[in-house]
Chain A
């Protein structure tokens, strides 16, 4: 644990920016801190780094540490591309096709701005490359992003499907994931720097025949400086295979350059 704390502190220090404007802390990105995300990319021309540290306590095995790192770039108006990876402790015990050290290349396109009558729509395509420990096959995931707001409360719906290759015979060819959640700026309009969010999610278990995973998670995003957002989240999988996560938590930050 001391090692984990040391790594987080070093990452924070290394990430302190020399300079920047106003990062959009309301722009929810997958993993920071929840799986829930909105339909919007980062700004055109923005370069951002998102990183953090987390723990996942499994019911039937050791608690794992995880360290995600992602670099994002606003390549064109309404289009964000990113490259990232997540390192896990005890990497050989990871179930599923996304392994420790796999590189993930992702593109997120936003089709429209939300209006009073229309939700915002977006699409994220992610290619998971087998660069990690004991990884095999290229996996592709397509995720729909829908955001609809009521006054300051925003609802987000993220349906996704991932197709696997290089899998074991007892693993699925592909699986779906669904997340439905909400975000709200606490203290608005006079205070708009803190956003709380939460979601319910469900996804198919990696192995054939295992029960569906379902869980809940909550988190907070706090704008720290004009260009830095801190986040923290906690959740649990309340249904699923015997070795599902009893609790998982993460802390992290995003920096826009």
Chain B
């Protein structure tokens, strides 16, 4: 009995170790799951802005389900069906964040490197919302800088450099494929990003009771986009469009979120081109080529990816940084309104396709 026991145990450990050794030569990635940055603000959105909290849960599902769908099909009808399933999920007002590893098991195992970068950036997003939804923290600037510093300290942090999103980072062979093939789904994704941006400017308008009073109007406008995606948009919403005041006050943080959203677009483009990337390995390699451009750690020191920074004039001239490239190089279509325009009733939602449910940016925002 003793010999048999020793044999069984030995065999078990040999199997485990054997797998480990074999693994070392193949794809190897660490999990590095992180708990949200701690502070008095934690979970404030859950308690104070529950409707918005549920929208964020829906958005998490939307991203993951899209990626998994594109891995399985490019059939327009099936992709459209997946889009409708996402809408059903969002409108079910999910009270708990969904488990993205179970929504997108193939995608997350195929490219965990991207998943953990998204996870950490989404956690940063939520921490920032929590901070502004918490009246327990008075010095928001200091606290936000602390959160930002903790975010940037991790290796999967997305860079705060302004990258050439409209130019070099949208000029890969597969770029614009997702937009052009699945325009409704694409602009639905962009609508998530618009809400995520615009919310910050609502939060700058006052304490949590003010935010609670204003957010329903913003969410209602966002739901309008979900029900009728703004297909005339040609490029993703930028932070300075949805939340110009937040973007001006915290340009580095705004750059992180813009870069994050562009990375989503880059990956969706890769997943939309099975002709260029027919296997999961080819898709993984294509994503791993682009990912390093976005990671902050690769922009330190001699900056391996300086060539991907936004053109210098856009950073130093008093103009919208995204505006430079947009106006010079591409037709970006109508641009989304700011939170302020939506709250003032100056943003168009339905019907007028020529103006694209957008409004021209205006000044006069009273921020706190």
CB within 8 Å of B: which residues of A?
Answer: 19-22, 24-26, 40-46, 74, 77-78, 110-121, 144, 146, 149, 151-152, 157, 159, 161, 175-176, 178, 185, 188-190, 192-193, 204, 223, 225-227, 256
Whether the Cβ atoms of B102 and A112 lie closer than 8 Å is: no
Q: How far is the CA of A193 from the CA of B97 in the complex (A)?
A: 9
Give the docked Cα–Cα distance between A148 and B35 (Å).
24
- CB A124 to nearest CB in B, in angstroms, measures 12
Contact of A115 among B38, B98, B112 (CB under 8 A): B112
Binds A, one of B42-50, B172-180, B183-191, B300-308: B42-50
A selection of 13 A-B contacts at a CB cut-off of 8 Å is A20-B43, A77-B34, A78-B30, A119-B23, A146-B19, A176-B5, A185-B99, A188-B103, A190-B61, A204-B1, A223-B96, A226-B43, A226-B46
Cross-chain contact A78 with B32 (CB below 8 angstroms): yes
- Classify the secondary structure of A's interface with B: loop
Residues of the B chain whose Cβ atoms lie less than 8 Å from the Cβ of A146: 15-16, 19
Q: Which B residues from 91 to 117 make CB contacts under 8 A with A?
A: 95-99, 101-106, 109-110, 112
Residues of B62-112 at the interface with A, using a CB-CB cut-off of 8 Å, are 64-65, 68, 85, 88-89, 95-99, 101-106, 109-110, 112
Q: How many whole Å from B155's CB to the nearest CB in chain A?
A: 10
> Is B9 interfacial (CB 8 A cutoff)?
yes
C-alpha spacing A74/B68, complex, angstroms: 29
- Bound-state CA distance A234–B96 (Å) is 27
- CB of A25 within 8 A of CB of B43, answer no
Whether the pair A193, B96 counts as a contact (CB closer than 8 A) is: yes
Residues of A within 8 A of B366 (CB): none
**A residues within 8 A CB of B8?**
176, 178
Q: Does B31 count as interface, using CB distance less than 8 angstroms?
A: yes
Question: Given that A115-B110, A118-B23 are contacting pairs, would A161 and B101 also be in contact in the complex, using a CB cutoff of 8 Å?
Answer: no
Given A21-B42, A22-B96, A185-B102; A43-B16 close (CB under 8 Å): no
Query: A111-B30, A176-B8 provided; 10 other pairs, C-beta below 8 A?
Result: A21-B97, A45-B34, A77-B31, A112-B31, A115-B110, A116-B106, A144-B16, A176-B5, A190-B88, A193-B98
Once bound together, how far apart are the Cα atoms of A77 and B126, in whole Å? Answer: 20
State the CA gap A22–B33 with chains docked (Å).
Answer: 12
Q: How far is the CB of B136 from chain A (nearest CB, A)?
A: 11
Whether B12 and A159, one on each chain, are in contact in the complex, defined by CB atoms closer than 8 angstroms, is: yes
A-B pairs, 5 with minimum CB distance = A159-B12, A45-B35, A46-B35, A192-B99, A19-B43
Q: Are B23 and A112 in contact (CB under 8 A)?
A: yes
Interchain nearest-CB distance for B208 vs A (Å):
14
Interfacial chain A residues near B61, Cβ < 8 Å: 189-190
Residue of A21, A115, A157, A161 near B27 (CB, 8 A) is A115
Give every chain A residue within 8 A of B20 (Cβ-Cβ): 111, 121
Asked if A117 and B27 make an inter-chain contact with CB atoms under 8 angstroms apart, the answer reads yes
Closest chain B CB from A88 CB (angstroms): 26
Q: Are B33 and A114 in contact (CB under 8 A)?
A: no
Least CB separation from B43: chain A residue = A19
Q: CB of B328 within 8 A of chain A?
A: no
Bound-state Cα–Cα, A200 to B43, Å: 39
Closest-by-CB residue of A relative to B20 is A121
Pick the contact of A24: B5, B33, B112 (CB < 8 A).
B33
The reply to whether B68 and A189 form a contact with Cβ atoms under 8 Å apart is: yes
Among the listed B16, B31, B105, which residue makes an inter-chain contact with A149, where contact means beta carbons less than 8 Å apart? B105
Please give the distance in Å from B124's CB to the nearest CB on chain A: 12
**Residue B219 at the chain A interface, CB threshold 8 Å:** no
Which residue of chain B has its CB nearest to the CB of A142?
Answer: B13
Known contacts: A189-B68, A192-B102. The answer to whether A159 contacts B9 by CB under 8 A is: yes
